[in-house]
Amino acid sequence: MLSSDHDVAAALAALSSPVEHSALGWTRRKFLTAAAVAGGSAAAMSLLPDAWREAWAAPPLGATDGVLVIVTMHGGNDGLNTVVPVSNGTYYAKRGAISIAPGAALPLNGDFGLHPNLMYLKALYDQGRVAVVNGVGYPSYDRSHFSSMDIWMRGLADRNSTSPTGWVGRYLDGIGAGTDLLQGVSFGGSVPMLVRGQNRNGTALSDYGKFFGSDSEPWQLREYAALRAMGAASTGTGAWGDAISKAQVQLLDVAVQTAPFYAGTLPKSDISRQMLLAARMINANLGVRVIVLNMGGFDNHAGELNEHAQLMGAFDDALRTFWLNLDLAFANRVTMMTMTEFGRELRGNDSGGTDHGTANNLLLIGPRVAGGFHGQLPNLGALDQYGQLTFNVDVRSVYATVLGQWLHADANQVLGGGFAALGAFAGGPTAEAAAPFPSSPSGGPSGGGNPGVGDGGTPRYPPSDPGSLMSVTPFRLVDTRIGQGAARLGPAASFTVKVAGVGAVPADGVVAVALNVTVTEPTSSGFLTVSPAGEERPLASNLNFTAAQTVPNMVFCKLGTGGAVNVYNSAGQSHVVIDVLGYFSTSGGSGLVPLVPQRVVDTRTAAAPLVAGTVMDLALAGVGDVPKEGVDAVVLNVTVTEPSAAGFLTVWPSGEAKPLASALNFQRAQTVPNLVIAKLGGGKVSIANNVGATHVVADVVGYFATQGSPSAAVAVSPRRLLDTRTNKAALSYGATASLTVTGVDVPADAAAVVLNVTVTEPLTDGYVTVWPAGQAKPLASNLNFVRGQTVPNLVIAKTGTAGQVMLYAHSTGAHVVVDIVGYFEG
Partner 1 sequence: MAVAAEDVAHLLRRAGFGGTAVQVSTLAALADRAAVVDAVLDTAANPPESRPAILDAVGKDEDRWQRLLAVRLGWIDRMATTPTPIVEKMTLFWHGHFTTSSDAVYRPNSLYQQLTYYRANALGNFRTLAQGMALQPAMLLYLNNNENRKKSPNQNFARELLELFLLGVGNYTEGDVFAAAAAWTGHTLDEDYETDSATYVFRADWHDTGNKTFLGTTRNWNGPEVIDAVLDNGTTRPIMARYIVTKLWSFFAAPNPSTTVVDALVAVFVANNFELRPLLRAMFLRNEFYDVGVKQGLVRTPVEYVVAVMRSLNMPASEIHPEWWLEDMGQDVYNPPNVSGWRPNGYWISAAASSARASFADWLTWKLKDAKFLEDSKTKTRPDAIAAALAAFQIHHPSARLVQVLDAWLADQRTKNEDWAENKVLPMLVLLSPDLQLA
- Shortest Å, Cβ 227 to partner 1: 6
Compute CA distances 22 → 31, 164, 216, 533, 787, whole Å. Answer: 15, 13, 42, 81, 48
Distance, in Å, from the CA atom of 147 to the CA atom of 3, rounded to the nearest integer, reads: 9
Distance, in Å, from the CA atom of 401 to the CA atom of 422, rounded to the nearest integer, reads: 6
Among 153, 175, 191, 400, binds partner 1 (CB under 8 A): 191
x-marked contacts with partner 1 along 234-253 as a string, rule CB under 8 A: xxxxxxxxxxxx-xx-xx--
DSSP states along 672-707 = EEEEEEEE-BTTEEEEEESSSEEEEEEEEEEEEESS
Q: Measured from the CB atom, is 91 or 298 closer to partner 1?
A: 298
User: Beta 67-73 vs 290-295: how paired, if at all?
Assistant: parallel
615 binds partner 1 per the rule CB under 8 A: no
306 binds partner 1 per the rule CB under 8 A: no
**Partners of 137 in beta bridges:** 394
Q: Which stretch binds partner 1 (CB under 8 A): 27-35, 345-353, 446-454, 640-648?
A: 345-353
Cis peptide before 673 (omega within 30 of 0): no
Q: Which stretch binds partner 1 (CB under 8 A): 12-20, 270-278, 375-383, 809-817?
A: 12-20
Q: Measured from the CB atom, is 270 or 317 closer to partner 1?
A: 270
611 binds partner 1 per the rule CB under 8 A: no
Q: Measured from the CB atom, is 248 or 412 closer to partner 1?
A: 248
Among 24, 145, 452, 692, binds partner 1 (CB under 8 A): 145
227 binds partner 1 per the rule CB under 8 A: yes
Neighbours of 426 (CB within 10 A): 16
Q: Which stretch binds partner 1 (CB under 8 A): 222-230, 368-376, 519-527, 788-796?
A: 222-230
Neighbours of 588 (CB within 10 A): 11
- Interface residues for partner 1 in 399-438 (CB under 8 A)? none
Q: Measured from the CB atom, is 220 or 376 closer to partner 1?
A: 220
Distance, in Å, from the CA atom of 676 to the CA atom of 686, rounded to the nearest integer, reads: 13
Phi, psi at 428, each rounded to 5°:
-80, 180
523 binds partner 1 per the rule CB under 8 A: no
Distance, in Å, from the CA atom of 194 to the CA atom of 273, rounded to the nearest integer, reads: 21
Distance, in Å, from the CA atom of 113 to the CA atom of 121, rounded to the nearest integer, reads: 11
695 binds partner 1 per the rule CB under 8 A: no
CA 119 centroid distance within chain:
9
Distance, in Å, from the CA atom of 121 to the CA atom of 130, rounded to the nearest integer, reads: 8
In 440-480, the DSSP E strands lie at 468-479
Neighbours of 21 (CB within 10 A): 12
190 binds partner 1 per the rule CB under 8 A: yes
Among 177, 229, 453, 729, binds partner 1 (CB under 8 A): 229
x-marked contacts with partner 1 along 277-296 as a string, rule CB under 8 A: -------------------x
Q: Measured from the CB atom, is 255 or 493 closer to partner 1?
A: 255
x-marked contacts with partner 1 along 581-600 as a string, rule CB under 8 A: --------------------
Among 4, 265, 709, 727, binds partner 1 (CB under 8 A): 4
Q: How many helices (H) and strands (E) does the chain have?
A: 15, 39
Q: Measured from the CB atom, is 256 or 768 closer to partner 1?
A: 256
For residue 401, which amino acid is it? T
Distance, in Å, from the CA atom of 332 to the CA atom of 200, rounded to the nearest integer, reads: 27
Among 85, 137, 176, 188, binds partner 1 (CB under 8 A): 188
DSSP states along 597-613 = EEEEEETTTSS-PEETT
- Interface residues for partner 1 in 252-271 (CB under 8 A)? 254-255
146 binds partner 1 per the rule CB under 8 A: yes
208 binds partner 1 per the rule CB under 8 A: yes
Q: Measured from the CB atom, is 262 or 495 closer to partner 1?
A: 262
- Interface residues for partner 1 in 153-182 (CB under 8 A)? 181
Measure CA of the first residue to CA of the last residue in the chain; give whole Å. Answer: 79
Q: Measured from the CB atom, is 313 or 404 closer to partner 1?
A: 313
Distance, in Å, from the CA atom of 200 to the CA atom of 178, rounded to the nearest integer, reads: 8
How many residues of this chain bind partner 1 (CB under 8 A)? 71
Among 144, 379, 458, 736, binds partner 1 (CB under 8 A): 144
Contact 347, 389 (CB under 8 A): no
Among 42, 63, 107, 143, binds partner 1 (CB under 8 A): 143
